Structure 1
Amino acid sequence: MSHMIVTLPKCADVVVVGGGVVGTAITYYLAAYGVDVCLLERDDIASGTSSAAASGVSLQTKPPGPKQDLARASLKLLRALATELEADIEFVNDGGMLVAETEEEFDLIQQEAEAAAQAGVDMSVLSAAEARAQQPELARHVVGATFCPDDSTVNPYLLALAFARAASRLGAKIVTGFPVTGLERHGENIASVQTSDGAVATATVVNAAGPWAPILAEMAGAPLPITPRKGELFVTTPGPALLRGTVISASYLLSKALPSGQDQNRMTVGLWAGQTRRGNLLIGSTREFSGYDRSNTDDGMRALMAQAVRLIPAAANRHVLRFYAGLRPSTPDGLPIFGRAPGLPGLIYANGHEGDGVALSPITGQLIADLLTTRISADDLAPFRPDRFQE
């Protein structure tokens, strides 16, 4: 991908900054609408957060409301994208199981299932025996589970690459290896994007820089309330099938919740487990506010391995291939930020997905492209409007 475009274009109607699944999705949908769009990525496609993401596209880990609505719409798009993008994105719809280890957790996930069902999500409650019949490798102490047949997985790297290649075929300019160094503005208007190798004149910039979005926003003097939240994961050597679909611990829901007060800097752990097409187990993840540090920690690695073996004992027979960590772009209320920057309408935000960037990338791409081509208005994105934190 890094050699598709070797020189910067002098101008573009829209410049998208960030080459992860969100930025490439936006570029693809804009190109599909015939927009003159250029994507700028400082490294290579999917080299940042998307390279350290799990593969889950889960409905049952999102509470009823705006984010779950986004996930349902995004899943609908994902089902068709493998054909539409003319690429293998390793999309698999095998369902997902949310597992309780205590009666208290079982009560919690049953309440979540009831609320989700009322919102139209297909979820069922399983006894311990029913859960183990469906996932034979589950530990014997599991007391119950919920199951969502629509939960799926997709390969984040292949998805971002497919979006970028399809966008390029439609005329988009995909430029990698050029870090953005500044945004030139004239009053309330964007004039150009400055890079390490020159400028691209444009009146519209889409900030899709993930956890680095606040840095880009500051270049234009438009602060963005996003904080990087580290997540540690590991992948094992390949082997026979242990799982059908994904297994998620009930503690994952609590881990995902935003901490407050003195717990702000505490690491939380909630299991998400899936198996790749090649047979590798993919296990995550921790959550921790630690700035832009992407190093693995002894505490995180030990906690992940312990939780994986506790819930899926056969995982102990696999060797760890590698540990890695990524950064999630977290917002104060847990919802993404979509729309025009207050006081700077030429700067568009598509940020703050936290750990749901992969799952929500298709619908984010379509919504931002629809906004920029006036197919929808800012009112249609009201729950995600950038100025909501100023109230």
Structure 2
Amino acid sequence: MESDYVIVGGGVVGLSVAWGLLSRGKSVTVIDGDDGSFRASRGNFGLVWVQSKGLNQPRYAQWSQQSAAIWNSFADDIHGNTGHRVALEQKGGYSFHFSEQDLYETVEQYNRLKSQLGGNYPFEILGHNELKKEEPEIGPSVAGAILHHQDGHVNPLKLLKALAQGVRNQGGHIVNGRKVQSVTHDTSFRLRCDDGSVIEGSKVVLCAGLGAAELGPQLGFKAPVRPQRGQVIITEKLPKFMNRPSLIARQVDEGGIQIGATNEEVGYQDNVTGGGIAEIAEQAVKTYPILSRAQIVRTWGALRVLSPDGLPIYQKSKTMPGAFLVTCHSGITLSAAHAKILPDWLEGASDAPDLEVFNEDRF
């Protein structure tokens, strides 16, 4: 049976796109890899994050803001469809700084971006004493923080589970444990998988993360994505003491503290190293000294999906009309936009978002 769309990639990006297309009445088949695939959706930090994005490309800041603004509505849709809550909390987030000079330089960058965005970049500067009122457990080494009011976080594993259920509830098909090996196109797309099966669709959206590097050229894409390892720590469940998330640590809805993350250019190695874990643990304790007494219950390494400039890629194939590439390293932040806005771009609607700055011609 031929679907209107075949989505290659069953992570948060692919499932969010599938959700949005199904909600518009399209038939969708999602092809997901096996457990040996690199899966950023199962190893990320769970942030819905605006600040610091788009410092060199304001359109990226706007796109992140659009998604953050509709995240609450998207979470309500997920709950209404599946009964699952994804633990969304959007009360702002911190960028911590350990020197006045570093804080000042970052504020200068934010002010420039705020001016480019017409003033729509709501943040405030908290000195150490002001920050202490918001976060009583903050350490003396923290000089201050930038509190950005559009930031927040979710439980990414609950989100992934809910998206998969929601796709199925809306009539979508998810085919697990298969890898697409080749694609041909005449009147429709035919995707041959490693088990010999063939899946057909009128259109194809490549959302395979790092897998796009291999499959992309068959569909006419450069797909210049690369891996970057991030290592993460999870502590035991603790009483609530952290009010807002940061890039250093966040308290998840179950009570544990998620600490992260390294930024390592090590190819496709997703293992954990003693040095990496020690580095992020030291920074977390410097920020929140109370964490020196916390027990570590698990650690992991996962691979981010990065383009050469770190921005998303949204590309329509020039050689295979009906094929699209969608890839980014901010799949959680952009999940709402991918579900509620991006389908208009895929469908060529008159009110589709302008995503030209994110195409591959910039490389």
Fold shared per TM-score above 0.5: yes
Tell me what 1:214 maps to: 213
Question: 2:298 is matched with which residue: 309, 322, 333?
Answer: 322
- Following superposition of structure 1 onto structure 2, how do residues 94-105 of structure 1 map, counting pairs within 5 Å? 94-105=91-102
* Distance (whole Å) between structure 1 residues aligned to residue 157 and residue 38 of structure 2: 8
TM-aligned CA deviation for residue 376 of structure 1? 4.7
Tell me what 1:63 maps to: 54
8 A Cα contact 2:22 2:28, kept in partner? yes
Question: 1:15 is matched with which residue: 3, 6, 30?
Answer: 6
Change (3 A) 1:20 1:219: same
Question: 2:75 is matched with which residue: 73, 82, 85?
Answer: 82
Change (3 A) 1:293 1:176: same
* Distance (whole Å) between structure 2 residues aligned to residue 95 and residue 34 of structure 1: 35
Change (3 A) 1:372 1:58: closer
TM-aligned CA deviation for residue 317 of structure 1? 0.9
Question: What percent identity do the matched residue pairs reach?
Answer: 26
8 A Cα contact 1:342 1:386, kept in partner? no
- Following superposition of structure 1 onto structure 2, how do residues 89-128 of structure 1 map, counting pairs within 5 Å? 89-118=86-115, 119=117, 120-128=120-128
1:298-319 per-residue CA deviation (whole Å, 9 max, x = no partner) reads 2211111111111111111111
* Distance (whole Å) between structure 2 residues aligned to residue 115 and residue 345 of structure 1: 39
Amino acid at match of 2:262: T
SS of the residue corresponding to residue 104 of structure 2 reads helix
Tell me what 1:174 maps to: 174
- Following superposition of structure 1 onto structure 2, how do residues 251-262 of structure 1 map, counting pairs within 5 Å? none
Question: 2:280 is matched with which residue: 304, 311, 318?
Answer: 304
8 A Cα contact 1:341 1:386, kept in partner? no
* Distance (whole Å) between structure 2 residues aligned to residue 306 and residue 95 of structure 1: 24
Change (3 A) 1:217 1:24: same
Tell me what 1:256 maps to: none
* Distance (whole Å) between structure 2 residues aligned to residue 273 and residue 79 of structure 1: 22
TM-aligned CA deviation for residue 51 of structure 1? 0.5
Amino acid at match of 1:276: V
Amino acid at match of 2:357: P
1:242-293 per-residue CA deviation (whole Å, 9 max, x = no partner) reads 2101134xxxxxxxxxxxxxxxxxxxxxxx2100112100011111122211
SS of the residue corresponding to residue 206 of structure 1 reads strand
SS of the residue corresponding to residue 293 of structure 1 reads coil
Tell me what 1:261 maps to: none
SS of the residue corresponding to residue 329 of structure 1 reads strand
SS of the residue corresponding to residue 230 of structure 1 reads strand
Tell me what 1:148 maps to: 148
Question: Which stretches in structure 2 are left out of the alignment for 5+ residues?
Answer: none
Tell me what 2:20 maps to: 29
TM-aligned CA deviation for residue 190 of structure 1? 5.9
8 A Cα contact 2:222 2:360, kept in partner? no
* Distance (whole Å) between structure 1 residues aligned to residue 99 and residue 264 of structure 2: 24
1:134-182 per-residue CA deviation (whole Å, 9 max, x = no partner) reads 1111111222211122211111122222222222222211221222222
RMSD: 2.1
Question: Which stretches in structure 1 are left out of the alignment for 5+ residues?
Answer: 1-9, 249-271
The count of residues paired between Structure 1 and Structure 2 equals 352
Higher mean alpha-carbon deviation, 207-216 vs 19-28, is at 207-216
Amino acid at match of 1:165: Q
8 A Cα contact 2:226 2:307, kept in partner? yes
8 A Cα contact 1:59 1:121, kept in partner? no
SS of the residue corresponding to residue 331 of structure 2 reads helix
Corresponding position: 1:72 with 2:69 = no
SS of the residue corresponding to residue 22 of structure 2 reads helix
Tell me what 2:203 maps to: 204
* Distance (whole Å) between structure 2 residues aligned to residue 222 and residue 359 of structure 1: 24
1:175-224 per-residue CA deviation (whole Å, 9 max, x = no partner) reads 212222221245xx763111133001223211101122112214446431
8 A Cα contact 1:183 1:190, kept in partner? no
- Following superposition of structure 1 onto structure 2, how do residues 264-279 of structure 1 map, counting pairs within 5 Å? 272-279=248-255
* Distance (whole Å) between structure 1 residues aligned to residue 54 and residue 108 of structure 2: 11
8 A Cα contact 1:232 1:325, kept in partner? yes
Amino acid at match of 1:155: N
